[in-house]
Amino acid sequence: MNYLKTKRVFFLLVAIISIALQSCGGVPEETPSTAASDKVFAVAEILTLIAEENDITRTLYTKGIVGAGKKQGLKFDEDWQDDDVEAGPLPALFLRGISSDIRKSDIPLGLYLGSDFPINASNKFQGKQAALFKKIKATQEPQHFFEEDQKLYTSMFADLAVAAPCVNCHNDHENTTKTDWKLGDVMGATTWQYPSDSLSYKEAIGVINAYRNGTKAIYNAYLKEISEFKIDSTKPTIGNKWPSKGFYLPTAETFVDSVRKLTSYKSLEKLLLADNVTEDKETEGLAAN
Ligand code: HEC
C-alpha cells in the first residue's frame, strides 16, 4: 500500500472529522497553529478545484433554473432584489451573491467575474488581469500569478457561453458592449484570489465549504424573494422538482445536493491525489534516507 497515499487519507479524515466536530460545537475553541509541513496544497490546485465546482454550479443554475424557468414564466432580472421587481438573480448576480457571502465569512477567498466587453462597466478587467485575459481568450487556458498590487495569489479561468441564455441575453441587453456573442465563446473569466501560496487540508476544506455555503445563501435569498412576491400565481411550487417539469423550483437542499452529486467525487479525488507540496518534500526526504 502506498505510504504517502495512506498518510494523506489519514490527514484528510482527521481534517474532516475535526471540522465536523467544530461545527457541532463539540470541540473547544483551541486550534493548533498550522505548521509549514501541513501546507499540503499549492494555492493554484485549490483555486482550480473550486473553479471547477463553480463551473458546474453556474451551468446548473443557468440551464436548470434560468433557462428552464423562463420557459415556465419565471423572470430573472438585474434588479431582482427591488421590492417592485418579482424576479430571480441573473447568473452573474448569482455568482456575485456567492462572492459576497464568502466575503462575510472568515475565509480569505476572493471571487470576481470580469470581461473585456462587459454589460456592467465595473466588470471590465484592468491592468495585469486585462493583459492575461487576452491570453485566456486565445487559449482558454487558466492563468495563475501573483498580483503584486494586492499581494494576492490569483487564478483566472475562462467563463464560457455554455448555454443559449448566456448568448441571447448578453447580445440583446440594452447596455451590452458586444452584440455578436456565440455559443462556446469566452465571454469573461472568473478571478479567484487567496493570500498564501499553500494550504493545509483544513484550509482547503474551509475554502470548499465557504464556496458551498455561498451557493446555499444566494439560492436561499432567491427563495426568500419569491416568498415575498405579491401575486400568488407568480410563485412556483418549491419542492424536489425542477422547472423542466413544470412551474416548480427545487428547494435549496435539492439544488445544493445536485451540485454536490456532480462535484464531490472529482473534488475528493483531487484532494486525495493532488500532486502536492508535501509529496515533493517527503519524496526528497525519503530519497535522502
Ligand atoms: C438574462 C440575462 C443574462 C443571462 C442569461 C446571462 N447573463 Fe451574464 N450578465 C448579465 C448582466 C445583466 C450582467 C451584468 C451584471 C452586473 O451588473 O454585474 C452580466 C454579467 C456577466 C459577466 C461579467 C461581465 C459583464 O458583462 O458585466 C460575464 C462574464 C457574464 N455575464 C457571462 C455570462 C455567461 C457565461 C452566462 C451563461 C452561463 C451568462 N452571462 C448568462 C445578463 C445575463
The residue to which cell 482547503 is assigned? 204
Name the grid cell of 237.
411550487
- Which residue's CA is the nearest one to ligand 1's atom 21? 92
- Which residue's CA is the nearest one to ligand 1's atom 18? 120
State whether the beta carbon of 85 lies less than 6 angstroms from ligand 1. no
Phi, psi at 277, each rounded to 5°: -55, -45
Name all contacts of 45-48 with Cβ < 8 Å and 24+ positions apart. 45/270, 45/274, 45/276, 46/194, 46/199, 46/204, 46/207, 47/144, 47/153, 47/155, 47/192, 47/194, 48/142, 48/155, 48/157
Cα of 158 vs centre of ligand 1, distance in Å, is 14
For residue 98, give every residue at least 6 positions away whose Cβ sits within 8 Å of its Cβ, in sequence order, or none: 54, 57, 111, 211, 214, 215, 217, 218
Ligand 1 atom nearest to 58, measured from its CA: 38
- What are the start-end ranges of the E strands in 141-277? 143-147, 152-160, 186-194, 198-199, 237-239, 248-250
- Which residue's CA is the nearest one to ligand 1's atom 17? 120
For residue 229, give every residue at least 6 positions away whose Cβ sits within 8 Å of its Cβ, in sequence order, or none: 86, 235
pLDDT of residue 29: 43
Nearest CA to 235 out of 222, 216, 252 is that of: 222
pLDDT of residue 234: 87
Q: For the whole model, what pTM was predicted?
A: 0.84
Give the pLDDT confidence of 249-267 residue by residue, as tens digits: 999 999 999 999 998 888 8
pLDDT of residue 264: 85
Which amino acid does the sequence have at 240?
N
Cα of 258 vs centre of ligand 1, distance in Å, is 23
State whether the beta carbon of 115 lies less than 6 angstroms from ligand 1. yes
State whether the beta carbon of 120 lies less than 6 angstroms from ligand 1. yes
State whether the beta carbon of 69 lies less than 6 angstroms from ligand 1. no
pLDDT of residue 39: 86
Nearest CA to 116 out of 74, 202, 176 is that of: 176
pLDDT of residue 30: 41
* CA–CA dist 193, 110 (Å, integer): 5
Residue pair 190/94 in contact by the 8 Å Cβ criterion: no
For residue 127, give every residue at least 6 positions away whose Cβ sits within 8 Å of its Cβ, in sequence order, or none: 149
Say whether 249 sits in a helix, a strand or coil.
strand
Which ranges of the chain have pLDDT less than 70? 1-37, 274-289
pLDDT of residue 163: 84
pLDDT of residue 11: 54
Residue pair 236/70 in contact by the 8 Å Cβ criterion: no
- Which residue's CA is the nearest one to ligand 1's atom 33? 166
pLDDT of residue 270: 84
